[in-house]
Amino acid sequence: MRSRRRPQADVERGLLTAAIVRHPREFVALVMGSAATLAILVNALFLQHGPHPAPIFATRQRMQEPAVPLRAHKEDKAVVAHPVAPPKPNAAPVARQDPIAELIAPPKPRMLAIQRALADFGYGQIRPTGVYDSETRGAIEKFEREHSLPVDGQITDRFVRELAAMTGRPLE
Protein backbone atom coordinates (compact mmCIF):
# COMPACT_ATOMS: atom_id res chain seq x y z
CA MET A 1 0.00 0.00 0.00
CA ARG A 2 1.18 3.45 -0.85
CA SER A 3 1.64 6.07 1.74
CA ARG A 4 -0.38 9.24 1.40
CA ARG A 5 2.66 11.33 2.19
CA ARG A 6 4.08 13.26 -0.73
CA PRO A 7 7.73 14.19 -1.06
CA GLN A 8 8.70 17.63 0.31
CA ALA A 9 9.30 19.13 -3.20
CA ASP A 10 5.78 18.21 -4.29
CA VAL A 11 4.34 19.79 -1.17
CA GLU A 12 6.23 23.06 -1.71
CA ARG A 13 5.30 23.15 -5.39
CA GLY A 14 1.70 22.52 -4.46
CA LEU A 15 1.73 25.38 -1.96
CA LEU A 16 3.18 27.80 -4.53
CA THR A 17 0.67 26.72 -7.18
CA ALA A 18 -2.17 27.02 -4.70
CA ALA A 19 -1.01 30.53 -3.72
CA ILE A 20 -0.84 31.59 -7.38
CA VAL A 21 -4.31 30.18 -8.08
CA ARG A 22 -5.81 31.85 -5.02
CA HIS A 23 -4.20 35.29 -5.66
CA PRO A 24 -3.51 35.69 -9.41
CA ARG A 25 -3.54 39.51 -9.45
CA GLU A 26 -1.05 39.74 -6.62
CA PHE A 27 1.20 37.21 -8.35
CA VAL A 28 1.12 39.16 -11.64
CA ALA A 29 1.83 42.41 -9.75
CA LEU A 30 4.77 40.78 -7.97
CA VAL A 31 6.24 39.47 -11.23
CA MET A 32 5.79 42.82 -13.01
CA GLY A 33 7.25 44.78 -10.10
CA SER A 34 10.26 42.47 -9.96
CA ALA A 35 10.79 42.77 -13.73
CA ALA A 36 10.55 46.57 -13.59
CA THR A 37 13.01 46.75 -10.70
CA LEU A 38 15.44 44.49 -12.54
CA ALA A 39 15.12 46.55 -15.75
CA ILE A 40 15.78 49.80 -13.87
CA LEU A 41 18.85 48.35 -12.15
CA VAL A 42 20.27 46.95 -15.40
CA ASN A 43 19.68 50.27 -17.14
CA ALA A 44 21.24 52.33 -14.36
CA LEU A 45 24.25 50.11 -13.81
CA PHE A 46 25.15 48.79 -17.24
CA LEU A 47 23.43 50.63 -20.09
CA GLN A 48 24.24 54.27 -19.27
CA HIS A 49 27.37 55.65 -20.91
CA GLY A 50 29.45 58.48 -19.59
CA PRO A 51 29.94 59.81 -16.08
CA HIS A 52 27.02 59.79 -13.69
CA PRO A 53 26.27 62.67 -11.31
CA ALA A 54 26.21 60.30 -8.33
CA PRO A 55 27.75 56.96 -9.25
CA ILE A 56 26.67 53.99 -7.18
CA PHE A 57 30.04 52.27 -7.25
CA ALA A 58 32.26 55.32 -6.88
CA THR A 59 35.88 54.60 -6.26
CA ARG A 60 37.66 56.83 -3.86
CA GLN A 61 40.59 58.65 -5.29
CA ARG A 62 43.68 58.75 -3.21
CA MET A 63 44.72 62.06 -1.85
CA GLN A 64 47.72 63.19 -3.80
CA GLU A 65 50.57 65.15 -2.42
CA PRO A 66 49.84 68.87 -2.73
CA ALA A 67 51.20 70.40 -5.89
CA VAL A 68 51.92 73.51 -3.86
CA PRO A 69 55.41 73.65 -2.37
CA LEU A 70 55.59 73.99 1.40
CA ARG A 71 57.84 76.37 3.29
CA ALA A 72 58.78 75.90 6.90
CA HIS A 73 58.65 78.44 9.75
CA LYS A 74 60.14 77.97 13.17
CA GLU A 75 57.76 78.68 15.99
CA ASP A 76 58.69 77.68 19.55
CA LYS A 77 61.30 75.22 18.31
CA ALA A 78 58.72 73.40 16.20
CA VAL A 79 58.70 73.43 12.43
CA VAL A 80 55.29 74.23 10.96
CA ALA A 81 54.69 73.88 7.23
CA HIS A 82 52.55 76.51 5.45
CA PRO A 83 51.53 76.18 1.84
CA VAL A 84 52.87 78.72 -0.61
CA ALA A 85 50.18 80.37 -2.71
CA PRO A 86 50.04 78.77 -6.18
CA PRO A 87 50.78 80.98 -9.15
CA LYS A 88 47.66 82.39 -10.78
CA PRO A 89 47.20 81.50 -14.44
CA ASN A 90 47.08 84.36 -16.90
CA ALA A 91 44.63 82.62 -19.20
CA ALA A 92 40.91 83.17 -18.90
CA PRO A 93 38.81 80.19 -17.83
CA VAL A 94 37.83 77.90 -20.65
CA ALA A 95 34.13 78.04 -21.52
CA ARG A 96 32.56 74.58 -21.60
CA GLN A 97 29.88 73.52 -24.03
CA ASP A 98 26.92 72.64 -21.80
CA PRO A 99 23.75 71.70 -23.73
CA ILE A 100 21.57 71.71 -20.60
CA ALA A 101 22.69 75.23 -19.69
CA GLU A 102 21.85 76.37 -23.22
CA LEU A 103 18.33 74.93 -22.91
CA ILE A 104 17.52 76.60 -19.60
CA ALA A 105 19.33 79.87 -20.31
CA PRO A 106 17.17 82.86 -21.19
CA PRO A 107 16.91 83.42 -24.94
CA LYS A 108 19.41 85.83 -26.45
CA PRO A 109 17.71 88.86 -28.00
CA ARG A 110 20.11 89.02 -30.95
CA MET A 111 19.51 85.35 -31.79
CA LEU A 112 15.73 85.83 -31.50
CA ALA A 113 15.87 88.81 -33.88
CA ILE A 114 17.97 86.87 -36.40
CA GLN A 115 15.64 83.86 -36.25
CA ARG A 116 12.55 86.07 -36.67
CA ALA A 117 14.07 87.89 -39.65
CA LEU A 118 15.09 84.63 -41.34
CA ALA A 119 11.62 83.15 -40.77
CA ASP A 120 9.82 86.31 -41.94
CA PHE A 121 11.74 86.40 -45.20
CA GLY A 122 11.28 82.70 -46.01
CA TYR A 123 14.68 81.21 -45.22
CA GLY A 124 13.27 78.21 -43.40
CA GLN A 125 10.67 76.96 -40.96
CA ILE A 126 12.36 78.42 -37.89
CA ARG A 127 10.79 78.80 -34.48
CA PRO A 128 12.36 81.79 -32.73
CA THR A 129 13.76 80.11 -29.62
CA GLY A 130 16.94 82.11 -29.07
CA VAL A 131 19.01 78.91 -29.37
CA TYR A 132 21.39 78.27 -32.28
CA ASP A 133 20.20 74.93 -33.64
CA SER A 134 20.38 72.97 -36.90
CA GLU A 135 17.33 74.72 -38.41
CA THR A 136 18.89 78.13 -37.73
CA ARG A 137 22.19 76.98 -39.23
CA GLY A 138 20.42 75.73 -42.37
CA ALA A 139 18.55 79.04 -42.77
CA ILE A 140 21.77 81.02 -42.34
CA GLU A 141 23.51 78.87 -44.96
CA LYS A 142 20.61 79.39 -47.39
CA PHE A 143 20.78 83.17 -46.82
CA GLU A 144 24.57 83.14 -47.32
CA ARG A 145 24.26 81.23 -50.61
CA GLU A 146 21.63 83.61 -51.98
CA HIS A 147 23.63 86.72 -50.99
CA SER A 148 27.06 85.48 -52.20
CA LEU A 149 28.51 85.29 -48.72
CA PRO A 150 30.97 82.62 -47.57
CA VAL A 151 28.77 79.67 -46.62
CA ASP A 152 29.73 78.56 -43.11
CA GLY A 153 26.42 78.79 -41.21
CA GLN A 154 27.94 81.02 -38.55
CA ILE A 155 26.62 84.35 -37.31
CA THR A 156 29.27 86.81 -38.40
CA ASP A 157 29.23 90.60 -38.40
CA ARG A 158 28.98 90.62 -42.21
CA PHE A 159 25.99 88.24 -42.08
CA VAL A 160 24.22 90.42 -39.49
CA ARG A 161 24.86 93.58 -41.57
CA GLU A 162 23.47 91.93 -44.73
CA LEU A 163 20.40 90.62 -42.90
CA ALA A 164 19.75 93.98 -41.24
CA ALA A 165 20.08 95.74 -44.62
CA MET A 166 17.59 93.33 -46.15
CA THR A 167 15.05 93.74 -43.33
CA GLY A 168 15.54 97.50 -43.08
CA ARG A 169 15.85 97.44 -39.29
CA PRO A 170 18.66 96.75 -36.83
CA LEU A 171 18.79 93.25 -35.40
CA GLU A 172 20.26 94.11 -32.02
Q: Could you give the CA distance from residue 75 to residue 10 in angstroms, rounded to a whole number?
A: 82
Residue 129 located in a structural domain: yes
pTM of the model: 0.40
Domain hosting 21: range is: 8-46
pLDDT band at 30 (very low <50, low <70, confident <90, very high): very high
| pLDDT at residue number 76 | 47
Residue 84 located in a structural domain: no
**48-106 confidence digits (pLDDT tens):** 766 655 656 655 555 555 555 555 555 545 454 555 555 555 555 555 667 777 667 66
Is the pLDDT at 11 greater than 70? The verdict is no
What CATH number does the domain containing 141 carry?
A: 1.10.101.10
Which of 40, 20, 39, 22 is CA-nearest to residue 30?
Answer: 20
- Non-local (6+) Cβ contacts of 145 within 8 A are 151
Is the pLDDT at 3 greater than 90? The verdict is no
CA angle centred on 41, ends 35 and 47, rounded to 5°: 115
| pLDDT at residue number 29 | 93
Residue 64 located in a structural domain: no
Q: Could you give the CA distance from residue 61 to residue 55 in angstroms, rounded to a whole number?
A: 14
Residue 112 located in a structural domain: yes
Residue 147 located in a structural domain: yes
Residue 74 located in a structural domain: no
| pLDDT at residue number 36 | 94
Other C-beta atoms closer than 10 Å to the C-beta of 112 total 15
Residue 69 located in a structural domain: no
pLDDT band at 34 (very low <50, low <70, confident <90, very high): very high
| pLDDT at residue number 35 | 95
- Domain total of the chain: 2
Cβ atoms 54, 45 nearer than 8 A: no
Residue 36 located in a structural domain: yes
Other C-beta atoms closer than 10 Å to the C-beta of 69 total 9
β-pair partners for 71 = 82
**114-127 confidence digits (pLDDT tens):** 888 888 888 888 88
| pLDDT at residue number 63 | 52
**137-163 confidence digits (pLDDT tens):** 999 999 899 888 888 888 888 888 888
